[in-house]
Chains A and B, each alone.
Chain A
C-alpha cells in the first residue's frame, strides 16, 4: 500500500479504526471486518459503513492531507481524532495516549488545549464579534478576559484581520470569515490543527491566498495539521503526506510525488490522472544518472573513454566533494582537440554546467532548456551532483505514467 516509511514517533496514530453508523453497529462489525462491501451492508442491515479498518501515522509538525470524493469518509475520519465521533472499533493515539480512555473531563481538556479545528462552513458564532469569536476557546478554558483578549488580538493580527475585531461575522466576506476561523483555532496554541475542507467553500482566488497563508504560518508554527480536501491540487500543494480514501477505505498513503508516480491502484490512478504533474514531480525523482569524473583524474583520454562507455553526451567534472566544477560535452572535446595535455587538466578551462537543485519541480526547469540542449546538472542541498536531466528526459517524465 504505502510506499513511504512511517514516521518513527508519530504525533497521531490511528489504528484499525472502523466506524459504522446505525442502530447496532457492533452486530454488523464482524461482517464488515470480513470484507462485506459498503453496499451489501447497507442493503442487508441498514447500517452505513463510514470508515473501514483505517490505520495511519501522522508525524509531528507535518501537514497530512486526507483526500477523497464526497462520502468517502473524510469528515468521519477526522472527527475521530478529537472524538466528535466515537469509533466502532480501533484505537486513536495522540502523543502515545489512547484518546478513547479519556473521561469527559480529560477529553474536554484535550479539546481545549491540544487540538483545535477549522470548519468548512466556518461555524463562527453569529452573535459574537470577531474578537469574541477568537477569544471563545480561551474563555471556555477559563482564561481571564484580559489575557484571552490579548492572545486573540495577536492571532487576529497574524491572519491579517486587525481592525475588524469589533465586526460581526456576517459583515465579513467568506475568506475573511475563514480567517477568523483560523485565528480562533490558533488562539489556544493547540499543537494539532484539524481542518475539514477548510477552504472548499471559498472561491478559487481566495482559496489560493488562504493556502499560501497556511503554508506560511505552518513554516513558522510547525503544528501537526490534518487537512481534508477533495481537491487534488490543494492536497499536493499543502500536504507533506497524502492519504486517499474511497468508500471508507484507505487506498494509498504517501507523498504527493509517490502518489502521482506510483499510484497504488486503478482508483488512485484515475484520481491523479488529470493533475499537472509538472507542478509536483521534482528532479529528485526523475533525474537520470550523471557520469562524473573527479577533477584530480581529469584528462582528455579519460573523458573520451567515459563518454563512449556510458553513451552520454556529457561528463560532469567534480571536485573532491562531488561538486561540479565543469562539464565536458563532445563539442568541448572537439573544440579543444589541439590543446596540450596540461590544458586539459586545468578545470578552469572547462565550461561550467547549468545547475538545478533536486527539489525543483519539472515545470520550473523546462524553460531553462529553451535555447540550448545541454543537460542540467542536478545537485542536492549541499551542491553535490546527484544526477542530470535533459530536455528529452524531462518531457518524457511529464508524459509517462511511471516516470
Chain B
C-alpha cells in the first residue's frame, strides 16, 4: 500500500459534484428529454412492428431482393435467404427483427446527424481540429461507458439503447464525410469557384457527389458499428438478439448464447455485403456510368 499513488487531491468531492449535477439534470430535464425523444421511439417501434407484422417469408424475400439489387449476385441472394431462414429455424426470428429495427433506426439517425457534422468539419480547419480529438476519444472509450449516462437519463429501455448506439456508431460517418470532401481535387474546386459558384452550389454540385464513395464507406462502417453496439445495448433493455446472449450468460446456457451469437454473425454478414456492394455501386456510377 505504501507504494500506491499519493492522494494529492480529494477526488471524492469532484466525483460527487459531477454526479450531483447529472442527477439534477435527470430530475429537472428527464421528462422533457423523454418527450423529446418520443418520435424516435415511435419510429423504432414502427419499424419493429412492421418487420414482425409482415409475413416472415416476405421479409426474407425483401432483404434477399435488396441484397440482389446491390450485388447483382444470385449466390449472395441465396445466401441471405439461407441465413435468415436458419435464424427463424433456431427460434430467433423475433429478437432478430428487433435487432434489425434498432440497427436500422440507429444507422439512419447516425447518418442524419453525421453527414451534416462531417460537412461542417470539412469547411473549417478549426472545427476539424476540435472534432478530431473528440472523435478519437469517442472511438477509444469502452462501449459500456456510453450506457451509463443514457440509462440514468432515461432509465433502462429502448431510447437509451438507441442513443448510445448512435453516439457509438456515428464517428466513422462524420470522419469519412469530412475526409471525402477534403479529398476532392483542389483544381476542380478552384474551377468551380472561378465560375462563380457559391459555397452551397460548390457543396451540392461537386463536393458531396465526388465525396460520395468515401461517405458510403463511412456509412458502411457506421452500420457495422451500430450492429455490434446493438448487441451490447440489449443489456439496458433493448431486447433483441443481444438479450438472448445476455440470458445465455446469466443462466449459463451455452447453447442459447451460441445460437444468438450465430444469428448476430448472420446479420453482420448480410448487412456488410449489402452496404459494401452499394458503396461500390456508387463509386462505379461516378466513374463510368
C-alpha spacing A120/B191, complex, angstroms: 11
B286 in contact with A117 (CB, 8 Å): no
Chain A residues, Cβ within 8 Å of B57 = none
Chain A residues, Cβ within 8 Å of B287 = 126, 170
- Chain A interface residue number, banded: 20 to 34
Q: B185 contacts which of A110, A117, A123, A184 (Cβ < 8 Å)?
A: A123
**Is residue B193 within 8 Å, beta carbon to beta carbon, of the partner chain?**
yes
> Known interface pairs A168-B288, A170-B287. Does A84 touch B193 (Cβ–Cβ under 8 Å)?
yes
B286 in contact with A127 (CB, 8 Å): yes
A140 in contact with B195 (CB, 8 Å): yes
Look across to chain A and name the residue whose beta carbon is closest to the beta carbon of B210: A127
> Known interface pairs A108-B198, A112-B195. Does A126 touch B190 (Cβ–Cβ under 8 Å)?
no
Pick from B195, B206, B289 the residue with the most CB of A within 10 Å.
B195
Chain A residues, Cβ within 8 Å of B183 = none
Chain A residues, Cβ within 8 Å of B195 = 111-112, 116-117, 136-137, 140, 184, 188
B168-212 contact mask (Cβ, 8 Å, vs A): 1 or 0: 000000000000000001011011111111100100011001100
Chain B residues, Cβ within 8 Å of A110 = 196
C-alpha spacing A119/B192, complex, angstroms: 11
B228 CB to nearest A CB, Å: 33
B196 in contact with A111 (CB, 8 Å): yes
> Known interface pairs A123-B185, A125-B206. Does A82 touch B194 (Cβ–Cβ under 8 Å)?
yes
Look across to chain A and name the residue whose beta carbon is closest to the beta carbon of B199: A104
B201 in contact with A111 (CB, 8 Å): no
C-alpha spacing A84/B191, complex, angstroms: 10
Q: Is the interface of B mostly helix, strand, loop or mixed?
A: helix
**Is residue A323 within 8 Å, beta carbon to beta carbon, of the partner chain?**
no
**Is residue A310 within 8 Å, beta carbon to beta carbon, of the partner chain?**
no
Q: B188 contacts which of A84, A108, A113, A123 (Cβ < 8 Å)?
A: A123
Q: B205 contacts which of A107, A111, A119, A136 (Cβ < 8 Å)?
A: A136
Known contacts A110-B196, A111-B195; 13 further A-B pairs (Cβ under 8 A): A84-B190, A84-B194, A108-B196, A111-B194, A119-B187, A123-B187, A123-B190, A123-B191, A125-B188, A125-B192, A125-B205, A136-B195, A170-B287
Question: Chain B interface (Cβ within 8 Å of chain A)?
Answer: 185, 187-188, 190-198, 201, 205-206, 209-210, 286-289
CB-defined A-B contacts under 8 Å, sample of 21: A82-B194, A84-B193, A108-B196, A108-B197, A111-B193, A111-B194, A111-B195, A112-B195, A119-B191, A123-B185, A124-B188, A124-B191, A136-B192, A136-B195, A136-B205, A140-B192, A140-B196, A170-B287, A171-B288, A184-B195, A194-B194
